[in-house]
């Protein structure tokens, strides 16, 4: 009997569940799990969590305290179901504030410790702004691992590698969304997908220069994008697409392969170079700003929910 594609993918890529749904995590047995404000909001709205979240909200000092407490509560539950990393995001509101990002990251790690979850299990998830990447560099030096998210172009990826971050999450589907909006009639299937091309470029560059930063493709719109990146270090996949892969049989070809580093790493970018590269890339500039706004919109909904539970 032919193996399903999800089983084949797990043999060449570390599969990560992009969800806060505990039942989905149990079903698909991923190695890691990632969350974000949108996924935490979905998990928080589940009826079976209501009483527990109300207790957390009422015991919190303020809404920020309640937000972090809820994220760590759900992250701790997830940590009992996966053997690897759990990614927990710093507030999108702090995306342009390095010092505040550091403080919240330290707070999250301390909260996880109180739940018996060690720092080695946690990836602090931070937007790939210049300020976020600077904060991640400090955290990595302190032994706190980071996941740089909302990553849309090569300049962001290079800055993350320069800073020694543990993992990056280049967003495949949102890159595709932007290009489809610009040219609706174009063929973006398979290897023509600009999001797939972006991850392949970053992956090949990292491996060719000996960077240790993990490349984890994210934000997929279809299983075709996942198949085109089979062999990537990690892929974080929604439950719906995990189900599609689990139901499909056939042969899955490895598309990305690691290699020995061939050339010396380039000189690190400075801030003006980074900002100019972002300015020159309309897609990355627009999608980064939009992503921060969307995460913040869902965070505000969660703040409203927790505020009501605090009454």
Query: Is the domain defined by 5-310 classed in CATH 3.20.20.70?
Result: yes
Evaluated on CA atoms 18, 208, 129, 89, the torsion sign reads: positive
User: Beta strand 146-151 with 167-170: parallel, antiparallel or unpaired?
Assistant: parallel
Q: Which residue is associated with the tokens 């062999």?
A: 231
> Hey, what are 59's tokens?
């015991």
User: Who contacts 220 (Cβ-Cβ below 8 Å, separation ≥6)?
Assistant: 172, 173, 226, 235, 237, 238, 241
Q: Residue for token digits 């990560």?
A: 16
| Whole-number Å distance between alpha carbons of 158 and 201 | 11
pLDDT value at residue 148: 98
State the pLDDT at residue 155.
97
Q: What's the confidence (pLDDT) of residue 1?
A: 62
Q: For residue 201, which of 170, 174, 224, 222 has the smallest C-alpha distance?
A: 170
The active-site residue, picked from 10, 58, 125, 311, is: 125
Active site residue 125: yes
Structure confidence at residue 310 (pLDDT): 80
Local mean pLDDT, 10-residue blocks, the chain (311 residues) = 91 95 93 87 82 86 90 93 96 97 97 97 98 98 98 98 98 98 94 97 95 97 97 97 96 91 83 98 98 94 86 77
* Strands (DSSP E) found in 67-192: 86-89, 122-127, 146-151, 167-170
pLDDT 10s digits, 179-227: 999 999 999 998 999 999 999 999 999 999 999 999 999 999 999 999 9
């Amino acid at each position: 009997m032919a193996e399903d594609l999800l089983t084949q993918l797990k043999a060449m890529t570390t599969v990560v569940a992009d969800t806060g749904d505990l039942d989905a995590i149990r079903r698909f047995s991923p190695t890691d799990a990632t969350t974000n404000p949108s996924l935490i909001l979905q998990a928080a709205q589940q009826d079976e969590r209501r009483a527990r979240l109300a207790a957390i909200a009422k015991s919190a000092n303020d809404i920020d305290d309640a937000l972090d407490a809820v994220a760590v509560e759900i992250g701790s539950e997830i940590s009992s179901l996966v053997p690897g990393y759990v990614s927990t995001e710093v507030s999108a509101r702090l995306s342009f504030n390095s010092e505040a990002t550091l403080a919240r990251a330290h707070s999250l790690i301390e909260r996880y410790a109180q739940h018996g979850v060690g720092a080695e299990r946690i990836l602090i998830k931070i937007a790939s702004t210049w300020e976020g990447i600077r904060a991640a560099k400090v955290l990595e030096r302190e032994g706190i691992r980071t996941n740089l998210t909302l990553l849309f172009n090569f300049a962001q990826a290079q800055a993350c590698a320069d800073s020694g971050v543990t993992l990056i999450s280049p967003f495949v589907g949102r890159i595709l969304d932007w290009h489809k909006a610009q040219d609706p009639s174009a063929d973006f299937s398979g290897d023509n997908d600009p999001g797939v091309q972006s991850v392949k470029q970053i992956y090949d560059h990292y491996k060719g220069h000996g960077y240790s930063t993990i490349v984890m493709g994210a934000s997929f719109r279809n299983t075709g994008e996942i198949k085109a990146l089979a062999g990537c270090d990690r892929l974080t996949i929604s439950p719906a697409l995990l189900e599609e892969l689990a139901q499909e049989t056939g042969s899955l070809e490895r598309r990305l392969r690691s290699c020995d580093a061939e050339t010396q790493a380039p000189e690190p970018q400075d801030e003006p170079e980074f900002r100019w590269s972002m300015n020159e890339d309309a897609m990355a500039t627009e999608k980064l700003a939009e992503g921060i706004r969307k995460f913040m919109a869902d965070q505000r909904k969660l703040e409203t929910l927790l505020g009501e539970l605090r009454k």
